[in-house]
Amino acid sequence: MEAVSKYKNVLLKLSGESLAKEGGFGIDPDMIDYVSAEILSIHNFGIKMSVVVGGGNIFRGICAGSFGMDRVYADNIGMLATVINALALKGALEKLGIQARILSAVPVDRIAEPYIREKALFHLEKRRILIFAGGTGNPYFTTDTAAALRAIETKAEIVLKATKVNGLYDSDPVINNNAKLIKKACYQDVIKKRLKVMDLTAISLAMENGLPLAIFSIKPKGNIKKVICGEDIGSIIGGDKND
């Protein structure tokens, strides 16, 4: 039976680290090509799709305070790092024949369009892949929050958070070998238990707007496609305790 997407409009959240080699920094051409091929597999369904990419493979603003940098400056550097990643991803997508547009919350008009909601909706109607860069355009907000915000603004039905772990856990599985996978969780439990899958602002924003979140591993190949086709991959955050 031919695979069928459950959704007509999705937003994919990628960490900057997903574009780097395992445990490394910078941009790995093999990973960029891998991610682009995964996006192509979804694009072939003919659905609307946007991407928010982080910048942690280049610079993590939230960590810069450890060596005394002002948080505002650090976050601004981090937002520019997401623009670099967006350019790399756009180039890789276009190499596959996919039309892509970068919309940046930080003005970089020579290399990206400014983020304007109406412009984003226009590109989505044309079935162009949107890459949202520059976070929210403000310091103190993560790209997780940017993903939730842009998903709501563009009427995405779900945020697909592709990570290096295979779902939501009750503790960090990298540190705790006995961490338990949680297949389904409500927003309130994630906030109450401070499960570190996305920042609390992003979770609260999703909860207020009834936006479900899928958490899953970016590998092996085909995982993103499986999630949008409704297969039991990773974890789902959404609903309330009574659902």
Domain boundaries, the chain: 9-237
Ramachandran region of residue 23, left (φ > 0), alpha (ψ -120 to 50) or beta? left
CATH fold for the domain made of 9-237: Carbamate kinase (3.40.1160)
| Measured distance CA(243)–CA(72) in Å, rounded | 40
Task: Match 């310091």 to its residue by tokens.
Answer: 139
What's the confidence (pLDDT) of residue 177?
Answer: 87
**Which amino acid appears at position 228 of this protein?**
I
- Give the pTM: 0.93
- Tens of pLDDT along the chain (243 residues)? 568 899 999 999 999 988 988 777 899 999 999 999 999 999 999 999 999 999 989 886 556 555 678 889 989 999 999 999 999 999 999 999 999 999 999 999 999 999 999 999 999 999 999 999 999 999 999 999 999 999 999 999 999 999 888 999 998 888 888 999 999 999 999 999 888 889 999 999 999 999 999 999 999 999 999 999 999 999 999 976 545
What's the confidence (pLDDT) of residue 124?
Answer: 97
What's the confidence (pLDDT) of residue 40?
Answer: 95
What's the confidence (pLDDT) of residue 84?
Answer: 96
3-state secondary structure of 124: helix
Contact criterion met (CB below 8 Å) for 10 and 48? yes
User: CA of 21: how far to CAs of 16, 34, 112, 142, 219, in Å?
Assistant: 11, 12, 26, 22, 13
Mind listing the pLDDT tens digit for each residue in 113-151? 999 999 999 999 999 999 999 999 999 999 999 999 999
What's the confidence (pLDDT) of residue 63?
Answer: 63
